[in-house]
């Protein structure tokens, strides 16, 4: 099983739990993001975590290619 498959399974379960209890997916996503950042900070510098988050934020539009991709 890949890391992506594990993460997908747990993320889907968290979203399903949130929806079944009347919580929105946004609140669970926000909580998960906080946990992810805290876990990253256990082994990475603040600047490195900020860089990782900036990369994700800068490239989150599914209709836009990454800057380094060729047509």
Spatial neighbors of 17 by CB under 8 A, at least 6 apart, are 28
pLDDT confidence band for 36 (50 / 70 / 90): very high
pLDDT recorded at residue 34: 97
Q: Which domain holds residue 48?
A: 3-58
pLDDT tens-digit map of 10-30 = 999 999 999 999 999 999 999
- Is 53 exposed, middle or buried (CB count within 10 Å of its CB: 0-12, 13-18, 19+)? middle
* Domain-embedded: residue 63: no
Total domains present in the chain: 1
Mean pLDDT of 37-49: 98
pLDDT confidence band for 64 (50 / 70 / 90): confident
**Count of H-run helices and E-run strands, the chain:** 3, 0
* Domain-embedded: residue 27: yes
Is the Cβ–Cβ distance between 24 and 30 less than 8 Å?
A: no
């Amino acid at each position: 099983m890949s890391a992506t498959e594990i993460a997908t399974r747990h993320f889907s379960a968290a979203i399903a739990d949130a929806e079944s209890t009347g919580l929105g997916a946004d609140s669970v996503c926000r909580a998960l993001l906080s946990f992810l950042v805290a876990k990253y900070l256990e082994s990475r510098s603040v600047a490195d975590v900020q860089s990782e988050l900036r990369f994700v934020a800068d490239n989150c539009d599914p209709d836009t290619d990454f800057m380094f991709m060729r047509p």
